[in-house]
Amino acid sequence: GEDVEQSLFLSVREGDSSVINCTYTDSSSTYLYWYKQEPGAGLQLLTYIFSNMDMKQDQRLTVLLNKKDKHLSLRIADTQTGDSAIYFCAETRGNFNKFYFGSGTKLNVKP
Amino acid sequence: EAQVTQNPRYLITVTGKKLTVTCSQNMNHEYMSWYRQDPGLGLRQIYYSMNVEVTDKGDVPEGYKVSRKEKRNFPLILESPSPNQTSLYFCASSRAGTSGGRQFFGPGTRLTVL
């Protein structure tokens, strides 16, 4: 995880948009992922993007990839209290089977 | 129900006492993997397996062993646990050829080594 960095906390109000950011250092990254972890549970894949894409949208989720700056972001539109969780970005590099995770961003959604 | 199960869910043990954490999946997945989660460090991959009898090291394999004798099971073995292996462990599985991204995670095993 030391090569994949995220801020630790984010607090937003219900109904606002949330933007969670991630930076990575390996330019050979192939796939980049966003996972969600709810309290006491394992990780759940939210979405992923291939490194030759700039953007991917899936309902309330928008992923932006800036490969030049090695910056990945996840935007959650109309954030709900049920979105409160820890969000991890992750990458696979040349070997699709090895994963590298960030330290996670804890999203707190206030009613 | 499609799932990944881990046992035990909680374990407190002492230094040097061999232990095994089991992982089983019922989805006929080829790919399985073990991670540890530590505060401030996110998840770090310990070992992974592409199929039966095919395993490889992840980022932090030291002090761990794995085996893949059957497709559904992927146990994690700590031959001589030490306090720095106190952590939350997750097993995951996925189909091969999907870059491994769509992994299904188990509920986790919280291990404390005294």
The model's confidence at residue B40, banded by pLDDT at 50, 70 and 90, is confident
Pairwise CB contact (< 8 Å): B42 & A98: no
- Whether pLDDT at A62 is above 80: yes
Share of chain B above pLDDT 70, in %: 96
pLDDT of residue A1: 45
Considering only alpha carbons, which residue of chain A is nearest residue B97? A96
Average pLDDT, chain B: 93
pLDDT of residue A31: 85
Minimum distance, in Å, between the CA of residue A43 and any CA atom of chain B: 6
Pairwise CB contact (< 8 Å): A4 & B44: no
State whether residue B28 is helix, strand or coil: coil
- Whether pLDDT at A109 is above 90: yes
Other CB atoms within a 10 A radius of the CB of residue A50 amount to 13
Q: Is A102 in CB contact (< 8 Å) with chain B?
A: yes
pLDDT of residue A98: 83
Interface of A with B in 30-89 (CB under 8 A): 30-31, 33, 40-45, 48, 88
How confident is the model over A48-61, as pLDDT tens digits?
988 888 999 999 99
Interface test with A, best of B32, B37, B102 (most A CBs within 10 A): B37
- Whether pLDDT at B38 is above 90: yes
Pairwise CB contact (< 8 Å): B50 & A97: yes
Pairwise CB contact (< 8 Å): A43 & B41: no
pLDDT of residue B106: 93
The model's confidence at residue B41, banded by pLDDT at 50, 70 and 90, is confident
Rounded mean pLDDT of B33-46? Answer: 93
Rounded mean pLDDT of B19-40? Answer: 95
How confident is the model over B75-92, as pLDDT tens digits?
999 999 999 999 999 999
How confident is the model over A74-102, as pLDDT tens digits?
999 999 999 999 999 998 876 677 888 99
Rounded mean pLDDT of A101-108? Answer: 94
Considering only alpha carbons, which residue of chain A is nearest residue B49? A97
Using CA atoms, how far residue A69 sits from A59, A103, B42, in Å, is 26, 19, 22
- Whether pLDDT at B68 is above 90: yes
Pairwise CB contact (< 8 Å): A99 & B45: yes
Q: Which of B58, B90, B99 sits opposite A31 (nearest CB)?
A: B99
On the CB side of A108, CA atoms within 13 Å amount to 5
The model's confidence at residue B74, banded by pLDDT at 50, 70 and 90, is very high
* Chain B residues close to A1, C-beta within 8 Å: 41-44
Give me the DSSP letters along A30-54: -EEEEEEE-TTS-EEEEEEEETT-S
Please give the Cα distance from B114 to B100 (Å, whole number).
34
Q: Which of B56, B58, B107 sits opposite A42 (nearest CB)?
A: B107
How confident is the model over A14-45, as pLDDT tens digits?
999 999 999 987 777 778 899 999 988 889 99
State whether residue B99 is helix, strand or coil: coil
pLDDT of residue B91: 96
